[in-house]
Amino acid sequence: MKPIYPLLVLLFAFSFSGYTQIMNKEVKAKIETTELENMLSVTGTAENVTEIHKSLRYKLTVIKKNKRSKNLSNNSQDGRFTLAPNEKKVLSKTQVNISKEDETILLLLIYDENDKIIGKDRIVVGETDKAEQPADGLELIGIVSDETKTKFGREFYDYFYGKYQEKKLNARKIVKVEEELSFGRTTRIRVVIDNDLINEFVSRPDDDFLLYMAEDSIAKLIKYFQDVEKQRQYITQY
Protein backbone atom coordinates (compact mmCIF):
# COMPACT_ATOMS: atom_id res chain seq x y z
CA MET A 1 0.00 0.00 0.00
CA LYS A 2 1.36 3.41 -0.96
CA PRO A 3 1.77 5.97 1.83
CA ILE A 4 -0.96 8.63 1.92
CA TYR A 5 1.11 11.35 3.57
CA PRO A 6 2.06 13.24 0.36
CA LEU A 7 -1.63 13.36 -0.58
CA LEU A 8 -2.56 14.71 2.83
CA VAL A 9 0.09 17.42 2.53
CA LEU A 10 -1.23 18.44 -0.89
CA LEU A 11 -4.82 18.53 0.34
CA PHE A 12 -3.89 20.64 3.33
CA ALA A 13 -1.83 23.00 1.17
CA PHE A 14 -4.83 23.39 -1.12
CA SER A 15 -7.09 24.19 1.83
CA PHE A 16 -4.69 26.95 2.93
CA SER A 17 -4.50 28.51 -0.52
CA GLY A 18 -8.26 28.41 -0.99
CA TYR A 19 -9.23 29.54 2.49
CA THR A 20 -9.24 33.28 1.82
CA GLN A 21 -11.40 32.67 -1.24
CA ILE A 22 -14.02 30.80 0.76
CA MET A 23 -14.41 33.49 3.42
CA ASN A 24 -16.04 36.74 2.18
CA LYS A 25 -17.07 35.01 -1.04
CA GLU A 26 -20.78 35.94 -0.81
CA VAL A 27 -20.71 38.71 1.77
CA LYS A 28 -17.61 40.81 2.32
CA ALA A 29 -16.89 41.96 5.86
CA LYS A 30 -14.81 45.13 6.08
CA ILE A 31 -13.50 47.18 8.98
CA GLU A 32 -12.71 50.82 8.20
CA THR A 33 -10.71 52.94 10.64
CA THR A 34 -9.65 56.54 10.97
CA GLU A 35 -7.29 57.79 13.66
CA LEU A 36 -7.30 61.33 15.05
CA GLU A 37 -4.96 62.14 17.93
CA ASN A 38 -5.76 59.52 20.59
CA MET A 39 -9.13 58.46 19.18
CA LEU A 40 -9.74 55.55 16.79
CA SER A 41 -13.02 55.60 14.86
CA VAL A 42 -14.16 52.13 13.79
CA THR A 43 -16.83 51.33 11.20
CA GLY A 44 -17.93 47.81 10.35
CA THR A 45 -19.48 47.26 6.91
CA ALA A 46 -20.91 44.35 4.92
CA GLU A 47 -21.30 44.04 1.16
CA ASN A 48 -23.47 41.49 -0.61
CA VAL A 49 -21.63 40.46 -3.77
CA THR A 50 -24.37 38.07 -4.95
CA GLU A 51 -27.74 38.51 -6.64
CA ILE A 52 -29.53 36.93 -3.68
CA HIS A 53 -31.22 38.73 -0.78
CA LYS A 54 -29.44 37.94 2.50
CA SER A 55 -30.65 37.78 6.11
CA LEU A 56 -27.60 37.97 8.36
CA ARG A 57 -26.13 38.64 11.78
CA TYR A 58 -22.94 40.50 12.68
CA LYS A 59 -20.65 40.81 15.69
CA LEU A 60 -18.02 43.56 15.96
CA THR A 61 -15.55 43.00 18.80
CA VAL A 62 -12.93 45.44 20.08
CA ILE A 63 -10.23 43.91 22.27
CA LYS A 64 -7.82 46.47 23.73
CA LYS A 65 -4.64 45.34 25.46
CA ASN A 66 -2.27 47.56 27.41
CA LYS A 67 1.27 46.44 26.61
CA ARG A 68 2.72 47.60 29.91
CA SER A 69 0.06 46.86 32.55
CA LYS A 70 -1.32 43.83 30.63
CA ASN A 71 -4.87 45.00 31.37
CA LEU A 72 -7.44 44.03 28.76
CA SER A 73 -10.91 45.25 27.84
CA ASN A 74 -13.32 43.49 25.50
CA ASN A 75 -16.43 45.13 24.04
CA SER A 76 -18.79 43.75 21.41
CA GLN A 77 -21.70 45.03 19.34
CA ASP A 78 -24.01 42.69 17.46
CA GLY A 79 -27.29 42.68 15.62
CA ARG A 80 -29.30 41.30 12.74
CA PHE A 81 -29.58 42.92 9.32
CA THR A 82 -30.53 42.27 5.72
CA LEU A 83 -28.73 42.97 2.47
CA ALA A 84 -30.30 43.38 -0.94
CA PRO A 85 -28.37 42.04 -3.96
CA ASN A 86 -25.08 43.95 -4.38
CA GLU A 87 -25.91 46.22 -1.44
CA LYS A 88 -23.27 47.55 0.94
CA LYS A 89 -24.35 48.60 4.42
CA VAL A 90 -22.77 50.16 7.50
CA LEU A 91 -23.38 47.80 10.41
CA SER A 92 -21.86 49.53 13.39
CA LYS A 93 -19.74 52.51 14.42
CA THR A 94 -17.71 52.94 17.57
CA GLN A 95 -14.81 54.96 18.94
CA VAL A 96 -11.89 53.70 21.00
CA ASN A 97 -9.36 55.65 23.02
CA ILE A 98 -5.86 54.50 22.13
CA SER A 99 -2.28 55.30 23.08
CA LYS A 100 1.20 54.09 22.24
CA GLU A 101 0.85 51.63 25.10
CA ASP A 102 -2.22 49.96 23.54
CA GLU A 103 -2.64 47.09 21.12
CA THR A 104 -6.20 47.05 19.74
CA ILE A 105 -7.69 44.04 17.95
CA LEU A 106 -10.77 44.68 15.80
CA LEU A 107 -12.73 41.61 14.72
CA LEU A 108 -15.85 41.67 12.52
CA LEU A 109 -17.76 38.42 11.95
CA ILE A 110 -20.81 37.97 9.73
CA TYR A 111 -23.11 34.96 10.17
CA ASP A 112 -25.70 33.55 7.77
CA GLU A 113 -29.19 32.30 8.67
CA ASN A 114 -27.68 29.01 9.88
CA ASP A 115 -25.31 30.89 12.19
CA LYS A 116 -22.31 29.93 10.05
CA ILE A 117 -19.52 32.48 9.64
CA ILE A 118 -19.38 33.61 6.00
CA GLY A 119 -17.59 36.95 6.33
CA LYS A 120 -14.71 38.14 8.47
CA ASP A 121 -12.23 40.97 8.80
CA ARG A 122 -9.54 41.47 11.45
CA ILE A 123 -7.29 44.47 12.06
CA VAL A 124 -4.65 44.99 14.73
CA VAL A 125 -3.75 48.59 15.59
CA GLY A 126 -0.51 49.21 17.48
CA GLU A 127 0.56 45.57 17.30
CA THR A 128 3.26 44.63 19.78
CA ASP A 129 6.73 44.62 18.28
CA LYS A 130 8.12 41.10 18.66
CA ALA A 131 11.47 42.65 19.63
CA GLU A 132 9.78 44.26 22.64
CA GLN A 133 8.41 40.98 23.97
CA PRO A 134 10.16 39.16 26.82
CA ALA A 135 13.10 36.92 25.91
CA ASP A 136 11.04 33.77 26.48
CA GLY A 137 8.60 34.82 23.74
CA LEU A 138 5.57 35.11 26.02
CA GLU A 139 3.03 37.86 25.64
CA LEU A 140 1.06 37.95 28.87
CA ILE A 141 -2.44 39.31 28.53
CA GLY A 142 -3.83 39.62 32.04
CA ILE A 143 -4.11 36.01 33.16
CA VAL A 144 -4.16 34.60 29.62
CA SER A 145 -0.89 34.08 27.74
CA ASP A 146 -0.85 34.20 23.95
CA GLU A 147 1.89 31.88 22.69
CA THR A 148 0.48 31.31 19.22
CA LYS A 149 2.61 31.54 16.09
CA THR A 150 0.25 31.56 13.10
CA LYS A 151 -2.75 33.49 11.82
CA PHE A 152 -5.10 30.64 12.73
CA GLY A 153 -3.55 30.29 16.17
CA ARG A 154 -4.13 33.99 16.85
CA GLU A 155 -7.73 33.68 15.64
CA PHE A 156 -8.31 30.77 18.02
CA TYR A 157 -6.83 32.87 20.82
CA ASP A 158 -9.23 35.73 20.02
CA TYR A 159 -12.22 33.37 20.06
CA PHE A 160 -11.00 31.67 23.23
CA TYR A 161 -10.40 34.91 25.10
CA GLY A 162 -13.72 36.32 23.95
CA LYS A 163 -15.50 33.28 25.42
CA TYR A 164 -13.30 33.53 28.52
CA GLN A 165 -14.53 37.08 29.05
CA GLU A 166 -18.16 36.20 28.32
CA LYS A 167 -18.08 33.51 31.04
CA LYS A 168 -16.43 36.01 33.43
CA LEU A 169 -13.74 33.49 34.32
CA ASN A 170 -11.00 34.70 36.64
CA ALA A 171 -8.31 32.08 37.15
CA ARG A 172 -5.70 32.78 39.79
CA LYS A 173 -3.09 31.09 37.61
CA ILE A 174 -2.11 31.93 34.05
CA VAL A 175 -3.98 30.17 31.27
CA LYS A 176 -1.67 29.60 28.31
CA VAL A 177 -2.66 29.13 24.66
CA GLU A 178 0.32 27.41 23.06
CA GLU A 179 1.00 26.52 19.43
CA GLU A 180 3.73 24.42 17.83
CA LEU A 181 4.42 23.09 14.36
CA SER A 182 2.98 19.66 13.67
CA PHE A 183 2.79 17.41 10.62
CA GLY A 184 3.19 19.14 7.26
CA ARG A 185 1.67 22.63 7.34
CA THR A 186 -0.45 21.96 10.41
CA THR A 187 0.08 23.24 13.91
CA ARG A 188 -0.94 21.82 17.25
CA ILE A 189 -2.73 24.12 19.68
CA ARG A 190 -2.86 23.48 23.43
CA VAL A 191 -4.69 25.19 26.28
CA VAL A 192 -2.70 24.75 29.49
CA ILE A 193 -3.03 25.97 33.07
CA ASP A 194 -0.47 25.32 35.79
CA ASN A 195 1.17 22.65 33.57
CA ASP A 196 -2.16 20.80 33.31
CA LEU A 197 -3.34 20.15 29.75
CA ILE A 198 -6.93 21.36 29.31
CA ASN A 199 -7.35 20.78 25.57
CA GLU A 200 -5.22 19.91 22.56
CA PHE A 201 -6.01 19.73 18.84
CA VAL A 202 -4.57 20.10 15.35
CA SER A 203 -5.52 23.46 13.86
CA ARG A 204 -7.56 23.87 10.70
CA PRO A 205 -8.10 26.96 8.49
CA ASP A 206 -11.81 26.94 9.33
CA ASP A 207 -13.53 29.61 11.42
CA ASP A 208 -16.36 27.32 12.49
CA PHE A 209 -13.85 24.72 13.67
CA LEU A 210 -11.75 27.27 15.59
CA LEU A 211 -14.85 28.73 17.21
CA TYR A 212 -16.07 25.24 18.17
CA MET A 213 -12.69 24.36 19.67
CA ALA A 214 -12.68 27.65 21.62
CA GLU A 215 -16.09 26.79 23.09
CA ASP A 216 -14.96 23.21 23.80
CA SER A 217 -11.79 24.47 25.50
CA ILE A 218 -13.78 26.88 27.68
CA ALA A 219 -16.16 24.07 28.71
CA LYS A 220 -13.20 21.87 29.69
CA LEU A 221 -11.55 24.77 31.51
CA ILE A 222 -14.71 25.37 33.55
CA LYS A 223 -14.81 21.63 34.38
CA TYR A 224 -11.18 21.87 35.50
CA PHE A 225 -12.00 24.81 37.80
CA GLN A 226 -14.93 22.88 39.27
CA ASP A 227 -12.77 19.81 39.93
CA VAL A 228 -10.08 21.93 41.58
CA GLU A 229 -12.68 23.59 43.81
CA LYS A 230 -14.16 20.22 44.81
CA GLN A 231 -10.70 18.95 45.67
CA ARG A 232 -9.96 22.07 47.70
CA GLN A 233 -13.18 21.67 49.67
CA TYR A 234 -12.43 17.99 50.27
CA ILE A 235 -8.94 18.80 51.60
CA THR A 236 -10.42 21.53 53.82
CA GLN A 237 -12.97 19.13 55.32
CA TYR A 238 -10.46 16.38 56.03
Q: H/E/C letters for each residue in 171-236?
A: CCCCEEEEEEECCCCCEEEEEEECCEEEEEEECCCCHHHHHHHHHHHHHHHHHHHHHHHHHHHHHH
Domains in the chain, please, with CATH?
1-132 (2.60.40.2420), 133-238 (3.30.160)
Tens digits of residue pLDDT in 101-148: 888 889 898 989 887 888 888 888 887 554 444 443 333 334 677 888
Q: Compute the distance between CA of residue 191 and CA of residue 145 in angstroms, rounded to an integer.
A: 10
Cα 190 to Cα 158, 159, 173, distances in angstroms = 14, 14, 16
Tens digits of residue pLDDT in 201-213: 998 888 889 999 9
| Chain length of the chain | 238
Amino acid 132: pLDDT: 43
Q: Calculate helix-pair angle for 207-237, 151-166, nearest 10 degrees.
A: 50
On whether the CB atoms of residues 212 and 36 are closer than 8 A, the answer is no
Report the DSSP beta bridge partners of residue 109.
Answer: 59, 120
Amino acid 131: pLDDT: 42
Amino acid 191: pLDDT: 94
Residue 227, CA atoms < 13 Å, CB-side half-sphere:
8
Q: CB pairs under 8 A, 24+ apart, for 123-127?
A: 123/31, 123/33, 125/33, 125/35, 125/40, 125/98, 126/98, 126/100, 126/102, 127/103
Tens digits of residue pLDDT in 25-37: 999 999 999 988 8
The separation between the first and the last C-alpha atoms of the chain, rounded to the nearest angstrom, is 59
